[in-house]
Amino acid sequence: MNTMLDESWRLSPAVALRPEPFGALAYHFGNRRLTFLKRPELVRAVPLLESAACVREALREAGVPEQQWPAYAEALRGLASADMIREVA
């Protein structure tokens, strides 16, 4: 079964990440949405999507424990629904 963990995703080209003391802000210049990334591992994982073959690899590189991958995949689905990240075809 192919899940998001097995898919390749990238930060949308219309999105900028800005480090903050609490984590990071993700701002979408197209739809003007602002999203707060509060988990340090998520802040590390999102940019790693660019070079990782799949979400699973990015989460591993970001230091997310495997038992937490489903929760992080859910957080990434939320970012996808806001067009913060996009699937690579």
What proportion of the chain, given as a percentage, has pLDDT over 90?
Answer: 96
DSSP string of 6-23, one letter each residue:
GS-EEE-TTEEEEEETTE
pTM equals 0.91
Domains identified in the chain, total number:
1
Residue-range definition of the domain harbouring residue 26: 4-87
**51: DSSP letter:** T
pLDDT band, residue 2 (cuts 50/70/90): low
**pLDDT confidence of residue 1:** 47
The CATH number linked to 23 is: 3.90.930
| Angstrom distance (rounded) from CA 24 to CA 44 | 10
> What is the tens place of the pLDDT at every residue in 14-34?
999 999 999 999 999 999 999
